[in-house]
Amino acid sequence: MAIAHDSTAGLLTEYVTVTIGDHMFGLPIFRVQDVFVPVGLTRVPLAPPEVAGILNLRGRVVTAIDMRSRLDFGEREPGAPVMAIGIELKGESYGLLVDAVGEVMQLHNSACEAKPANLDPRLSRVAAGIYRLEGQLMVVLDVDRVLDIRNGAVAA
């Protein structure tokens, strides 16, 4: 998935779109390792609330981060579908738990707008920008910021 050139307006970036709590978010595709169904999630007692647990993905131990909790969107309904986006950071594997995974979109970098000042602080911390798509907004997630969870307290 290369970054293509549009003759008219510079670079494009591909985003994997996901739905978390009825909102649409985008993750730059070069940060995404894979997409999988989280199975066999083991709770980690005494872990920070954002950490849903750990699971075994093809022999690797993946730390699952519940994005609903991370972005303060409230509990998931029991039985509601969950998908995971596999991310790698400093040699460790993480899985971001989202409600649904959408399609991959190729978007112009120039169309990315700055995040509005009145954006919820928790979202604002992890957002890199916003795209206005037909009918909805897509918030671009800064993966490094998303994974910046300190011991029990979310980093500012």
Partner 1 sequence: MDELLKEFLVETNESLDVVDVELVRFEQEPNNAEILGNVFRLVHTIKGTCGFLGLPRLETLAHAAESLMSKFRDGAPVTGEAVTLVLSAIDRIKQILAELEAHQREPEGTDADLIHQLGEMVRKVSVPPAASTSEPTGYTVGTLVPQTLERPLLPGEVSLDELERAFRDTLGPAPIAAAPQGKAEQRKAEHDRSQNINGAEKEEAEATVASKSIRVSVDTLESLMTMVSELVLTRNQLLDIVRRHDESEFKVPLQRLSNVTAELQDGVMRTRMQPIGNAWQKLPRVIRDLSAELGKDIELELHGADTELDRQVLERIKDPLTHMVRNSADHGLESRADRIAAGKPEKGIIRLSAYHEGGHIIISVADDGRGLDIKRIKEKALASGLVTEPELDKMSEAQIQKFIFSPGFSTAQKVTSVSGRGVGMDVVRNNIDQIGGSIDVQSVQGKGLTFTIKIPLTLAIVSALIVESGGERFAIPQLSVVELVRVHAKSEHRIERIKDAAVLRLRNKLLPLVRLSSLLKLDGSKAIPDKGFIVVIHVGAQTFGVVVDGVFHTEEIVVKPMASKLRHIGMFSGNTILGDGSVIMIIDPNGVSQEIGASVASTAAALAGTEAGQHATAENTVSLLVFRAGSPEPKAVPLSLVTRLEEIDCKKIELSNGRHMVQYRGQLMPLIRVDDEVKIKREGAQPLLVFSDGHRSMGLVVDEIVDIVEDRLDIEVASDIAGVLGSAVVRGQATEIIDVGHFLPLAYADWFRGKDVKISDKERTLLLVDDSAFFRNMLSPVLKAAGYEVTAVSSGREALAILKKGRRFDAMVTDIEMPEMDGFELAEAVRGEQRFGEIPIIALSSTTTPEAIERGRKVGFHDYVAKFDRQSLIAALKEQTADIIQAA
Binding stretches for partner 1 (CB under 8 A): 40, 42-48, 51, 54-56, 59, 61, 63, 90, 92, 94, 147, 149, 151-152
Rounded least distance, CB 139 to partner 1, Å: 23
Q: Is 49 exposed, middle or buried (0-12, 13-18, 19+ CB in 10 A)?
A: exposed
Of residues 13 and 93, the one with the C-beta less far from partner 1: 93
Rounded least distance, CB 50 to partner 1, Å: 9
* 17 alpha-carbon distance from chain centroid: 9
Of residues 40 and 79, the one with the C-beta less far from partner 1: 40
Of residues 56 and 109, the one with the C-beta less far from partner 1: 56
Rounded least distance, CB 61 to partner 1, Å: 5
Q: Would you say the C-alpha torsion 113, 117, 118, 123 has a positive or negative sign?
A: positive
Of residues 45 and 79, the one with the C-beta less far from partner 1: 45
Rounded least distance, CB 29 to partner 1, Å: 24
Rounded least distance, CB 145 to partner 1, Å: 14
Of residues 39 and 114, the one with the C-beta less far from partner 1: 39
